[in-house]
Amino acid sequence: MPASQLESKVNSSIAIRAENLCRHYRMGEALIRAVDGISIQVASGEFVALLGTSGSGKSSLLNLIAGLDRPTSGTVVVENNDLAKLSREELAKYRLHTVGMVFQSFNLIPSMTLLENVELPLRFAEVDRDKRDGLARQALDRVGLGARLRHRPTELSGGEQQRASLARALINQPRFLLADEPTGNLDSQTGTEIMNFIREFNETLGMTIIMVTHERALAERYASRLIFLADGKLLGDQSNAASAATVQTSGGGL
């Protein structure tokens, strides 16, 4: 893909804007500041890695962007949607159409076949029955699982399960892919396989990627920008020149 074309896209808009974002919660007596005053902006088409040790608040931040959780204070605006102001119903629509999620533990529904798992978001989106099947097959084909449609998740390897969950995340054609330690449960070879898929989505579909990881090496290899968190606070934010070999980025960061 010509670099100039991508650059114009990246610069075209600010996709995610968080301002003084906080998420505090109580655990017994203690007040946990999982996210504590974070302000960041992410441009459309970026591949951002959220780095930090466990408990640094990176997953909490991802959940806030995903609309799974609501901030205690501050704002997070995704494509002009102020998530704090959306109703529960609107937030569900946002999760359905705007973002796709993958998790460390894959989170496929064990009682359903791969095809049914991938089809599930289409059901929630009320897509017609006859269209659903084709779309789900297509999505599974794309991640190389076209031959395992009728298998249940437990019959598959971790890598295959994560590929299926990628297919599910993409089925409603969201503009954001939010990945929470997507390779955390995989060996390095299958992890690479998954990361290559994610990179491909970023490059060919122009999806904005936010990936939570604690593996710096992985982040440096694939992400165009690295954001470091510790104790719920922003520790560092840098564009990643190393990955510029594959993805041209310009100063999307602050």
Partner 1 sequence: MKTYDMAELAVRNLRESFLRNSLTTVGISVGVASLVAMLSLGIGLQQLAGRRLEKSGLFDTVVVTSRRDLRSFSREQEETGPAPAESPTLNEDARQKIAQLPDVIEAYPDIRFITELRYEDKPYLTMMAGLPFSAKNNDAFDGMQGNFFSSDTASEVILQKSFAAQLLGKTPKAGAEEPSVVELAKPLLGKQLTMRYSERTATPAAGAADTKENSSNPAGASYSVVSHEVTLKIVGVCDLDPDSMRGQARARIFLPLKLAQNLHVMQPSDLRDTTNLASGAPAYTTVEVHVKSPTQVQPVEDAIKKMGFNTFSIVDATRSLRQFFAVLDLFLGIFGSLALAVASIGIINTLVMAILERRREIGIMKAIGASDGDVKGLFFAEAGVMGIFGGIVGVALGWTIGRVINLGTNVYLKRQHFPPEQIWFVPWWLVLGAIGFAIVVSLLSGLYPASRAARLDPVQALRYE
User: Which 39-98 residues touch partner 1, going by CB under 8 A?
Assistant: 63, 66, 68-69, 88-89, 92-93, 95-97
Pick the closer one to partner 1 by CB: 163 or 225: 163
Q: Does 169 bind partner 1 (CB under 8 A)?
A: yes
Distances 138 to 129, 149, 153, 216 between C-alpha atoms, Å: 15, 11, 18, 33
Task: Enter the DSSP assignment of 154.
Answer: G
For the bound state, the minimum distance from the C-beta of residue 137 to partner 1, rounded and expressed in Å, comes to 18
Q: Please identify which residue in 71, 83, 103, 224 interacts with partner 1, judged by CB under 8 A.
A: 103
Q: Is the Cβ of residue 6 or residue 18 nearer to partner 1 in the bound state? A: 18
Interface mask toward partner 1 for 123-142; x: CB under 8 A: xxxx--x-------------
Beta bridge partners of 208: 176
User: Does 26 interact with partner 1 (rule: CB under 8 A)?
Assistant: no
Selected from 44, 172, 183, 213, the binder of partner 1 by CB under 8 A is 172
152 token code pair: 């249940």
Query: Number of residues in contact with partner 1, rule: CB under 8 A?
Result: 29
Task: Give the pairing type, strands 225-230 and 233-239.
Answer: antiparallel
What residues from 149 to 168 belong to the interface with partner 1 (CB under 8 A)? 168
Distance between CA atoms of 145 and 157, rounded to whole angstroms? 12
Cβ closer to partner 1: 100 or 253? 100
DSSP state of 104: T
What are the residue ranges of helices labelled H in the chain?
Answer: 3-12, 58-66, 88-97, 114-124, 129-142, 158-170, 188-204, 216-222
Among residues 14 and 96, whose Cβ is nearest to partner 1? 96
Residue 14 or 120 having the CB closest to partner 1: 120
The residues, ordered by sequence, that sit 6+ positions from 252 with a Cβ below 8 Å of its Cβ are 10, 41, 42, 43, 46, 224, 225, 239
182 contacts partner 1 (rule: CB under 8 A): no
β partners of residue 233: 230
Chain residues binding partner 1 by CB under 8 A are 63, 66, 68-69, 88-89, 92-93, 95-97, 100-101, 103, 105, 107-109, 111, 120-121, 123-126, 129, 168-169, 172
